[in-house]
Amino acid sequence: MQAPTLRDVYEARKTIAPYLVRTPLHYSAGLSQLLDAEVYLKHEEYHPLGAFKARGGINLLAHLSQEERERGVITASTGNHGQSIAHACRVFGARALIALPEKDPNPLKVAAMEALGAELVFYGENFDQAKAHCERLAAEEGYRYVHPTDEPLLIAGVGTQTLEVIEDLPEVDVMYLPLGGGSGAAGACVVAKAINPAIQVRAVQAAAAPAGYLSWQQGQLVQAPMNTFAEGIATQSGYELPQQIIRHLLDDFLLVSDDEIRCAVGLLVEKAHTMAEGAGAAATAGAVQQRETLAGKKVAITVSGGNTTAPQLLDALKVYQESQQ
């Protein structure tokens, strides 16, 4: 697999422009005061699908042949990636099959994928079991398998969000992004380090699902237990292409607890009038954890998605309120 380049990201932007609008980068006075920094939120939850993944799906489906689209496209997801592929398949007239874990799927994301016309296949207790089943189905039935992260076109597509951040805030010092499979952080590294190597790119992962962090730390793909509530970053292993990219380009990688993520959900509601799902708030949790390193800096935090359920949101707000007492 060949890692995408900055040129690939610029090409991806041209590809997705007719289908997705540019998302805003908004200054947050509340978070700026809290972190003693100049803080901006990249609002990827503003996409119609409620998550940054929409960018990658459009870029990939646009490059598939008509024959591949007619055969059908299959992938595995906990929700946002699946929505992205389902949406792109609908746009380009392809059959979409999405494999999801049977255990505790996010009902909002399931309903969204069904509404987009995807055929859902529930299998296993977690994402990686669903992914293995998905790969078997692709081999047996001849579907075009889309790996959730090891696709250069996906990474180039989601990398367009970082291109927008740097265009809107050329003097940005630090970027925080969540990491599950790693496509978003990998895309950010490709773009930021090509444009201005001085920009710090920092990835944030749930401590209860640290496979990506451990893979980066050890320089090889690692599997680890996965027990986080934040399904958008709940992966059990590191993945080759994102790790290949971030291994040499990522400046820092930190782990946050599930309660830190829940507090960040509440913080975004109270300080920035923003609703984020667990994965979407992880980057904010990372910035709060590293607040002492941010004084006086210009900081861009990606809110990667807003597809939370009411029970998840209520639980997060309860934890946040308790932390403020």
Active site residues: 53, 304
The span from the CA of 125 to the CA of 312, in Å, is: 19
The span from the CA of 20 to the CA of 166, in Å, is: 18
The answer to whether the CB of 234 falls within 8 A of the CB of 126 is yes
The span from the CA of 75 to the CA of 97, in Å, is: 7
Sign, CA dihedral 191-194-199-202, equals positive
At 280, list the tokens: 């979407």
The span from the CA of 77 to the CA of 84, in Å, is: 10
At 297, list the tokens: 């800096």
> CA–CA distance from 93 to each of 63, 76, 309 (Å)?
13, 19, 30
The span from the CA of 180 to the CA of 199, in Å, is: 21
SS3 state at 106: coil
How many Å separate Cα 227 from the centre of its chain?
18
The span from the CA of 162 to the CA of 158, in Å, is: 8
Surface-to-core class of residue 311, CB atoms within 10 Å of its CB (0-12 exposed, 13-18 middle, 19+ buried): exposed
